[in-house]
């Protein structure tokens, strides 16, 4: 009997996002039991019949990264042994993505290692959002659908009702120019770049502003993630002091927010910080100037298209 019906399951990393996705799809999350043994090992049981089903597993491999990855691998193995017809991993946030090349000798390419682990555990397809490096798609030997959160973020930018004549997209460093150009073209505004100088392995100092004038303008900074917030906060200070910008807004897909990120963002000369819910925002990280957008509808649409073998490329904005 053909039972190729869609079913969404979730690990424990980001249950709230998974529930929103399931709500958009009109079907409750699949039932599974996840336990921690006293020695720290994980255990999983799939409580729904998945034989012949088209299964999607939502799990952001965010902090605690190693635990969430291991939990995901165990869920995948459970689904594979329960005879699911196809297993798609939905990775709103891909952990280890920044270790995507050998920058020096005798170091791992951990982004590739994680891709191999997911495939070996049973993943037959991957759906992810704003990879730190697009070439990570090539680390997989299975189909990868790489979405961007830009439609969700751009919709929010337009809701702010800022005068387009006052807007300048500001790339926080040279490595973010390509991403900033995508937003600049969509918004049809001017663009500037912060030229940074690395003082040491830990310290970077802004040296110059290149491009459009920021004086009296509203600077919009777009990034794929905010980790320690050093880069975006430094760019915000540069925009306000060197560029004489009247306001700064920061937008990022993934709010990793580790290290000194929260105090830096709290004290930075910025109007708003806008992130998405690819990573849960824990209570201690919630600031008055942080807004969280949901990517649930975007991911739900992609899941539906994959299930019905429809084109996903329309979502690659």
Active-site residue set: 196
H helix count then E strand count, the chain? 8, 14
What is the C-alpha to C-alpha distance for residues 50 and 86, in angstroms, rounded to an integer?
Answer: 10
Q: Which helix (H) or strand (E) holds 68?
A: helix 65-81
Nearest to 274 by CA among 140, 149, 143: 149
φ/ψ bin of 212: left (φ > 0), alpha (ψ from -120 to 50), beta (otherwise): beta
Neighbours of 203 (CB within 10 A): 9
Q: Coil, helix or strand for 317?
A: coil
- Distance of CA 142 to CAs 103, 145, 256, Å? 26, 10, 27
HSE, CB side, 13 Å, CA atoms: give it for residue 210.
Answer: 11
């Amino acid at each position: 009997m053909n039972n190729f019906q869609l079913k969404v399951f979730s690990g424990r990393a980001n249950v709230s996002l998974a529930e929103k996705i399931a709500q958009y799809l009109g079907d409750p999350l699949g039932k599974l039991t996840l336990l921690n043994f006293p020695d720290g090992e994980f255990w999983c049981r799939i409580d729904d019949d998945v034989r012949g089903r088209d299964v999607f597993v939502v799990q952001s491999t965010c902090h605690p990264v190693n635990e969430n990855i291991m939990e995901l691998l165990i869920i995948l193995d459970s689904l594979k042994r329960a005879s699911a017809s196809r297993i798609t991993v939905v990775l709103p946030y891909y952990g280890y993505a920044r270790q995507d090349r050998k920058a020096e000798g005798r170091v791992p390419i951990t982004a590739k290692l994680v891709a191999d682990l997911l495939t070996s555990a049973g993943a037959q397809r991957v759906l992810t959002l704003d990879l730190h490096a697009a070439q990570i798609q090539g680390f997989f030997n299975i189909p990868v659908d790489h979405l961007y959160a830009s439609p969700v973020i751009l919709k929010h930018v337009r809701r702010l009702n800022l005068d387009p004549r006052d807007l300048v997209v500001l790339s926080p460093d040279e490595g973010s120019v390509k991403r900033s150009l995508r937003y600049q073209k969509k918004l049809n505004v001017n663009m500037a770049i912060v030229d940074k100088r690395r003082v040491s392995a830990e310290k970077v100092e802004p040296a110059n502003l290149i491009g459009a004038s920021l004086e009296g303008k509203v600077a919009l900074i777009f990034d794929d993630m905010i980790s320690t917030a050093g880069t975006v906060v430094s760019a915000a200070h540069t925009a306000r002091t060197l560029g004489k910008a009247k306001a700064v807004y920061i937008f990022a897909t993934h709010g990793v927010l580790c290290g000194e990120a929260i105090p830096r963002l709290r004290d930075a000369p910025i109007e708003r910080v806008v992130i998405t819910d690819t990573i849960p925002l824990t209570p201690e990280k919630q600031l008055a100037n942080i807004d969280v957008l949901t990517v649930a509808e975007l991911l739900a649409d992609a899941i539906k298209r994959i299930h019905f073998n429809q084109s996903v490329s329309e979502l690659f904005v």
